Amino acid sequence: MEPPRSGQYGDAMARMGTIANRVEELLGLAVVATTPVAGGDICTATRVRLSDGRSAFVKTRPRAPADFFAAEARGLDWLRVEGGPPLPEVLAVSGDFLVLSWIEEGRPGTDGVESFAHQLATMHGATLPEFGAQPDGYIGTVPLPNGSTSTWPEFWAIRRVLPYLKVARDRDAISPEAAGAIERVTQRIDEFAGPPEPPARLHGDLWSGNVLWSGNGSTYLVDPAAYAGHRETDLAMLSLFGAPQLTRIVDAYDEHSPLAEGWRERVPLHQIHPLLIHAILFGGSYGERAGSAARSVLDGKAAA
């Protein structure tokens, strides 16, 4: 890799200094070191070491919407339930900053995998009266409407699919054929939704990068897009891009809180929304993948 030019180095150092100053203002503690953290294309991530010996994780985003980081902090606190997965502590939040407790990463072990699956099931089991049941938030940088509905099929169609299908069409991120297949699923959603389930407390963006296996053996959830939804949605999202020990996670989850018959055939149904989000954000083949998931639902085929 080409070494940074002197101007680039100076800019990076200035950013680190600004982050340190803001953290000191928010926490009332001195910052003794800052280190950039790799990963993520939405926010700048930094590890800071504090004068009391702790480390913290800092997320920043210039010109973020006023409630962007507040929504994430609110979601983290809302997902905390007794017996559920651990989540980072919110140390401070402002319009352009979020400061969280630092989590040292590790590797998933057998006991940790099963414990995480049981904790996830427990979190999902802390049910709510209605679907949505949270203020509107974000998934990535995309607004996430959470207006409540009494049934999941209605919530899925009008809050999770149709608004994003329109945006994908407007951006030419999906073909007419793929969009047509998704529309047909929304029109027949009651046929495909499976047995009614109570509104579960969902992470909402549960891909493997948001499951943090820590060095102390615990498995943390990070970066939520939290709302009350169908518990199969979190599991389908976890399988969309693959996850370490996925089969063991699902088996242990099903053992702890049995999934309804036919859940495997419903996996592509629950993947349509995240695939539409990816089509909006990244384009490429995601729109066609969303269409393929819809055709799998219409054909009664489980995801591969």
Active-site annotation holds for 205: yes
The per-residue pLDDT for range 247-295, each reduced to its tens digit, is 999 999 999 999 999 999 999 999 999 999 999 999 999 999 999 999 9
Cα distances (angstroms) measured from residue 199 to each of 89, 130, 193, 255: 25, 6, 13, 20
Q: What percent of the chain has pLDDT over 70?
A: 93
Average pLDDT over every residue of 192-205:
98
| Residue ranges of domains in the chain | 6-101, 110-299
- Give percent of the chain above pLDDT 90: 83
Chain-centroid distance of CA 28 in Å reads 30
From 136, 190, 205, 223, the catalytic residue: 205
When comparing pLDDT for 121 and 12, which is higher? Answer: 121
pLDDT at 302: 56
Tell me the pLDDT tens digit for each residue of 3-62.
444 444 444 444 667 899 999 999 999 999 999 998 667 899 999 999 999 999 999 998
Across residues 130-147, what is the average pLDDT? 96
The conformation of residue 79, written as its DSSP 8-state character, comes to T
List of residues 6+ apart from 30 with CB closer than 8 A: 24, 50, 51
Query: What pTM does this model have?
Result: 0.91
CATH for 6-101? 3.30.200.20
Q: Which amino acid is it at 213?
A: W
Q: Looking at the domain 110-299, which fold is it?
A: Aminoglycoside 3'-phosphotransferase; Chain: A, domain 2 (3.90.1200)
66-73 — which CB contacts under 8 Å span 24+ positions?
A: 66/95, 67/137, 68/95, 68/138, 69/93, 69/94, 69/95, 69/96, 69/97, 69/98, 70/95, 71/135, 71/136, 71/137, 71/138, 72/98, 72/137, 72/138, 72/223, 72/224, 73/98
Above 80 in pLDDT, residue 301?
no
